[in-house]
Amino acid sequence: MNRKEKVDLHLDFLETVYLLCEDNGSLTGLINLAQDKGIPNYNIIPKAMKNLGIVDPTDGKGNYKWKSTAEPNRRMASDLVNEKSSMAKASSNKRKQVVKEPERKLVPIDEIKENAKVEARKNLIRAVQAADVLGINLLTQPEEVIEKFMVKLS
């Protein structure tokens, strides 16, 4: 569809919206009307028309009233085509943006081993302190008892 055909299609749509708003005071189903008229990207038509000041929502339920003081004309239809095009491009650009992953820092294996030893010592100290409260000398117990006690603590 060339530019002139798009503008003509949108002008016909705007004239229909204008007449319906004139007759009824407001219009419900702007998206459905756009779809019926064969408007491309009909799902963004209400937002594009609102951005241009052509219509205003009367409530949050899809009712719109004609806001513009002018009757529909070719310039208004051309502006609507341009607005929809820029909205579609902006939406497309948002989807194309790649989210960068945070830079990963390589940690030497020796540092990982040292951190594990420190954590194990901390856990053992906590287990010994908890056992002392109960009157048990944990370090004199068999390894299985120590292991069970530490598992219950964590």
Specify whether domain 3-96 bears CATH 2.60.120. no
What residue has token string 């006690």? 149
Two tokens at 57? 């929502």
Two tokens at 128? 């010994």
| Nearest-angstrom CA–CA distance, 46 and 52 | 10
| Model confidence, pTM | 0.60
Q: Where in the chain is the domain with CATH 1.10.10?
A: 3-96
Q: What is the pLDDT of residues 33-89, one digit of tens each?
A: 999 999 988 899 999 999 999 999 988 788 899 998 889 999 999 999 999 999 888
Which among 32, 30, 79 has a CA at the least distance from the CA of 51? 79
- Cβ contacts of 136 within 8 Å, gap of 6 or more: none
